[in-house]
Structure 1
């Protein structure tokens, strides 16, 4: 029996209940252990080589600026070319590796990550500024991606049995999904384990090799994932860990003639730049590069007068301020019908006032934003918001030796305001009043993005119409607009939210493959 066949049917990794004293103490112990090994030097990983460079970047705890998480080697163009060559060399054997064997590495990595989940979460608390629940959910999602993509690749390899081609007399017809080649994987810092693991594992289980360029604010957790894949025996060169400058090595790899695909999650601006660079055909390039991009959102929650207003207010606050609003799915807008506007605003304001700001390692609900540039940008948006709406709560710097900002709510904001239109990626919520639920949906749709949204109502007919007319890739009814689960909520959006690649869905792995049909003459 193959290893994968002995595993129980797929189910999402359960989240940890930190109301339990035992679980809370286990996390505290993991954080304490992790703090004893902070400040280590992190090498590049190219093929079988670990390379320490003279030029290093410093990863700092955003919640305690005196604490260095790690010193990370910084790659240059020579290293980028070396990584590309290592990936090209490894691809020649990796593409021939049977699918079940490729999947087995992901299953083993998922099992080890599950055993060490608090260890991975603790590092995210310290490097990314996540509280316990946010870090735990990130680690759980990483496990889900590993398990799910392993199973999905096995399913795709059995396509001739499950979805056979039409057979013509005198022929035998086969269909298969084969790998693309070498890809560049550029994950974000806000889900530094889950999305990094998901993007990378999807590419490699499909038979590709990758150059992994981690996000600059969170390279240490990405290295911990790369080390895990090394530990489970993944062949050298399948994943090449290459931290460095996006404008230097990132551009070099995106424009390289041997790059077959780019898998990117990040801002709209960077995604559009990558799209433009990838569209140019370099000398010696014999294919159109494929771009898989998730580029953010300006997500919102619509509330009508029939809704459960307490549930709606809680969902608005959770969606807006979970992980300090640093999610592409964050509900940074609320569109509320005028009949219940004042009541919902009062509830949202009160819930926001209760949110304590402080160090993630102490499990405060609101922690720091990721770095100084984000901190300054968000504070600038607060000043913009003062001129575009009425400040209801927050609006100030919070105390602490880190990048702390109070969760902030602006009300009576017009639909065309900048804080209603631009992705802020921070703890700012803008609330607008609509004359009725259809106008609220129109305000919701009035954006260049289309990632997530929520509609709160108890009217079945309205819910059905909202399902058709709210234009986004992930729409939720009567729940928050964050928290997509692998397999249950394939994730990706419309318009400037990216290529609607649907991570954690049945068709995601197809983006890392090319389909090949073969016909054999039999008579």
Structure 2
């Protein structure tokens, strides 16, 4: 029985550790990296609180060291997907009825476990499985995931407190129920934080979840699942399955209890899912919630008044951190001709200082791209540019997949603002620059707005405040997250709610209340203390 109202104040963002030489966190992380590499992990699915193994296993190998086997996961079949749905629905009523402070305690404990006992585990798993350096793993799999868990508890507590006004003799209240059915979470390889947030944000609201991570993120996903179980997550609330994506979609989207999808991935896949859901709409008990973040072709607009060093740093970090495998990565830059030579000279000099190699060597800024399929796709763009008169590779352009999927940070300069690498999402360490007439600032903004189908992130770099104001207004629909004098990456939970529109997704802003509203179904309740006993109104009287 509840005997009080529970408030969860806004937390502070989790501090980012430095991993400097000799630091305790560096020593612990190095030890955990060695421990993971010393064993071969046997990774089951988690369905209804049970570990599920099959006769069909798939190996997991570090993208930067493909000769080493980290472990294998057990691939599921249609029967396992159906079992996950059944387990979720069986857990639904009890989970939905659990007191909020009890649910909140699970996720807050998970955050603290990640911040302490399992920090090195989740970071090491991300470094090895997804080829992230120590810093990129720290800001993702530790800090951002911890922030999602803590801030979402705070945001949800604030939503629960929002209540309607009451009139004399009447009391009104709103209940925020979970959706009627199960939520499907489909998560990407590139961020362990996203992989953890998509199922837990829905579950925190009282929903039950079937979670399908990308195969190349499973090594870290199973670490997070173990943390959630240790934190007290009841059986069946989140069911972690590894199976073919289209098969999972076919089964889940045909189920009458399908209540919503939380997705991060490609635009094409999301549009296909939306179409399938629409075709099956007559089957469902309720209209499903469709929430997705689907990619970007993110821009950096440099004004003639920009500081060159700020520009160079924004491009170097924005385009090449985590090998450009961020939905928000800077992939097209518009540079004014008055600054172009100086910016290119300094940027190319910076690229020469970037070391590339394994994640275990902490001096490497660049690591490997995620897999052979990504490697082949990215390098085709580079090869085509090397043979196209409208483009010139001015930095990088070399690649090798003999030991790992390594692509040197590459810069393409084009004379065609509509060139293919200015339009299409590459998702790799490739930046394309276009030099424009410094006096044609307003014209280039129209080019930026119309070149790509995406609208995820973008930035303006300028010292002229009128230019900043004009770009902010003119590019209002070009980016869901817009940055001033900074790279277009690095959104922090609670500070910059993240999401884009157009082909970049539904803009439901992870890291804010906006996302959590999608996983709630409100019920309004009116109670009249002294009800009327006569249907007649005063206006009916003659006198």
1:150 aligns with 2:153: yes
The corresponding residue for 1:455 is: 460
Contact kept, 8 Å, 2:6 with 2:101, in 1: the verdict is: no
Structure 1 outlier segments of 4+, above 6 Å:
1-8
Correspondence 1:503-518 to 2 at 5 A: 503-518=510-525
Shift of 1:283: 6.3
Shift of 1:6: 9.4
Following the alignment from structure 1 to structure 2, what is the Cα–Cα distance between the partners of residues 5 and 74? 42
Secondary structure of 2:232 counterpart:
coil
Following the alignment from structure 1 to structure 2, what is the Cα–Cα distance between the partners of residues 270 and 6? 39
Correspondence 1:42-121 to 2 at 5 A: 42-115=43-116, 116-121=118-123
Shift of 1:41: 1.4
Contact kept, 8 Å, 2:178 with 2:207, in 1: the verdict is: yes
Contact kept, 8 Å, 1:257 with 1:282, in 2: the verdict is: no
Following the alignment from structure 2 to structure 1, what is the Cα–Cα distance between the partners of residues 516 and 494? 13
Shift of 1:7: 7.6
Shift of 1:95: 0.8
Following the alignment from structure 2 to structure 1, what is the Cα–Cα distance between the partners of residues 277 and 9? 41
Shift of 1:344: 1.4
Secondary structure of 1:503 counterpart:
coil
Relative distance call for 1:506 and 1:111 in structure 2 (3 A) is same
Shift of 1:440: 3.1
Following the alignment from structure 2 to structure 1, what is the Cα–Cα distance between the partners of residues 397 and 506? 34
The corresponding residue for 2:538 is: none
Secondary structure of 1:362 counterpart:
coil
Correspondence 1:1-400 to 2 at 5 A: 9-22=10-23, 23-37=25-39, 39-115=40-116, 116-138=118-140, 139-160=142-163, 165-180=164-179, 181-191=181-191, 193-281=192-280, 284-363=283-362, 364-386=364-386, 387=388, 388-398=390-400
Contact kept, 8 Å, 2:300 with 2:488, in 1: the verdict is: yes
Relative distance call for 1:3 and 1:468 in structure 2 (3 A) is farther
Consecutive unaligned residues in structure 1, runs of 5 or more: none
Contact kept, 8 Å, 1:279 with 1:289, in 2: the verdict is: no
RMSD: 1.9
Contact kept, 8 Å, 1:279 with 1:288, in 2: the verdict is: no
Secondary structure of 2:503 counterpart:
helix
Deviations 1:192-243 (A, max 9, x none): x200111111101100000010111111211111111111111100010101
Q: Which has the larger radius of gyration?
A: 2
Relative distance call for 1:182 and 1:399 in structure 2 (3 A) is closer
Deviations 1:8-31 (A, max 9, x none): 751111111133431433322221
Following the alignment from structure 1 to structure 2, what is the Cα–Cα distance between the partners of residues 318 and 311? 11
Deviations 1:325-353 (A, max 9, x none): 00000001111112212221222222122
Shift of 1:251: 3.0
Relative distance call for 1:2 and 1:437 in structure 2 (3 A) is farther
Contact kept, 8 Å, 2:456 with 2:499, in 1: the verdict is: yes
The corresponding residue for 1:478 is: 485
Which one of the candidate residues 400, 409, 412 is aligned to 2:411?
A: 409
Relative distance call for 1:3 and 1:79 in structure 2 (3 A) is farther
Which one of the candidate residues 484, 487, 497 is aligned to 1:490?
A: 497
Secondary structure of 1:213 counterpart:
strand
Contact kept, 8 Å, 1:368 with 1:405, in 2: the verdict is: yes
The corresponding residue for 1:440 is: 444
Contact kept, 8 Å, 2:263 with 2:293, in 1: the verdict is: yes
Contact kept, 8 Å, 2:500 with 2:507, in 1: the verdict is: yes
Shift of 1:5: 6.8
- TM-score, with normalisation over the residues of structure 2? 0.92
Deviates more, 1:431-440 or 1:475-484: 431-440
Contact kept, 8 Å, 1:59 with 1:218, in 2: the verdict is: no
Following the alignment from structure 1 to structure 2, what is the Cα–Cα distance between the partners of residues 505 and 284? 31
Consecutive unaligned residues in structure 2, runs of 5 or more: 531-543
Contact kept, 8 Å, 2:303 with 2:467, in 1: the verdict is: no
Following the alignment from structure 1 to structure 2, what is the Cα–Cα distance between the partners of residues 413 and 514? 51
Contact kept, 8 Å, 2:123 with 2:134, in 1: the verdict is: yes
Deviations 1:46-67 (A, max 9, x none): 1032111001111111111111
Aligned length: 517
Following the alignment from structure 1 to structure 2, what is the Cα–Cα distance between the partners of residues 389 and 2? 68
Deviates more, 1:447-456 or 1:247-256: 247-256
